[in-house]
Amino acid sequence: MSTILTSIIVCGCIGIIAAIILYFAAKRFAVKEDPLVGEVEALLPGANCGGCGYSGCAAFARACVSAGSMEGLYCTGMDEEGMQRVASLLGMQAGEHRRKVAVIRCSASCDIREVKNIYEGLHSCASAAGLYQGMIDCVYGCLGLGDCVKACPFGAMSIRPGETLPEVDPDKCTGCGRCFEACPRALPMILPVGDTGSLTWVTCANRDRGPVAMKECNRSCIGCGICKKSCLHEAVTLETYLATINAEKCQNCGECIKSCPRHCISKITI
């Protein structure tokens, strides 16, 4: 009996002492923060993707709370409804936002790419790009080792088994830009979706001269300029043998896609 009693007393004392220490420690080291920040953060996806331009969800929440209006503050990981919830919590209106998604500027999937060598080494695009041109002759194209897939915090990127070219799931993609940063060749582009819910882009990043580019890949942009001529909205520009479509001007009419002799312009509808 006395053993049990002693145990209870000793444990109780330790508990009380610890509680007192913790109480004062909590007081002494308390971090003062607006409770609103925590509430806002709870509404955010918590992926810390950085798509909003802040270092993470907590930083974004602080920015929201201290901001006068929601203009320019937008979490790419949420739909408009979610953003409106955040805004109304803070007594403001959600800012205008145009949805952005990532698209890949390369179309060298396995049936198109002509593999010239075998890469054996760290399974990382950055490592391969630091070493050499890659498995295909095009030094601008996708290396196919999936750094973008690993970087995507939303699971929107995937490489199908037996394939090397990553695909973007536009429903999951928030346009945060992590894939762009991870890619040693900057192939993923974050583009705003057009009013019709469509997006047209050039699926190539090759800047070699036409004849060279022609040899390197079946789907390379050779800078012929046909798309530029066919465009009704002056959205196509040509620079160092590569066509680029200005997403702001593009009306997604699809004229360029029809005209491109190299089949290197694509369109998705979300």
**Count of alpha carbons within 13 angstroms of residue 193, beta-carbon side:** 18
CB closer to other proteins, 61 vs 135 = 135
- The interface region with other proteins, picked from 55-63, 109-117, 157-165, 223-231 by CB under 8 A, is 109-117
98 is an interface residue for other proteins by CB under 8 A: no
3-state DSSP assignment of residue 68: coil
CB closer to other proteins, 9 vs 122 = 122
110 is an interface residue for other proteins by CB under 8 A: no
Compute the least distance from the CB of residue 126 to other proteins, in Å.
Answer: 6
Compute the least distance from the CB of residue 175 to other proteins, in Å.
Answer: 22
For other proteins, the binding residues in 116-175 under the rule CB under 8 A are 116-122, 124, 126-127, 130-134, 137, 139
User: Is 206 in contact with 141 (CB distance < 8 Å)?
Assistant: yes
Compute the least distance from the CB of residue 138 to other proteins, in Å.
Answer: 10
Q: Which of 36, 59, 115, 214 binds other proteins (CB under 8 A)?
A: 115
Q: What is the dihedral of CA 233, 248, 141, 55, to 10 degrees?
A: 180
User: Is 264 in contact with 187 (CB distance < 8 Å)?
Assistant: no
What is the bridge-based pairing of β-strands 167-168 and 157-158? antiparallel
What is the bridge-based pairing of β-strands 265-269 and 198-202? antiparallel
E strand or H helix that includes residue 37: helix 35-43
With 0-12 / 13-18 / 19 or more C-beta atoms within 10 angstroms meaning exposed / middle / buried, residue 79 is: exposed
CB closer to other proteins, 93 vs 117 = 117
Q: What x/- string results for residues 192 through 231 when contact with other proteins is judged by CB under 8 A?
A: ----------------x-----------------------
Q: Contact residues for other proteins (CB under 8 A)? A: 115-122, 124, 126-127, 130-134, 137, 139, 208
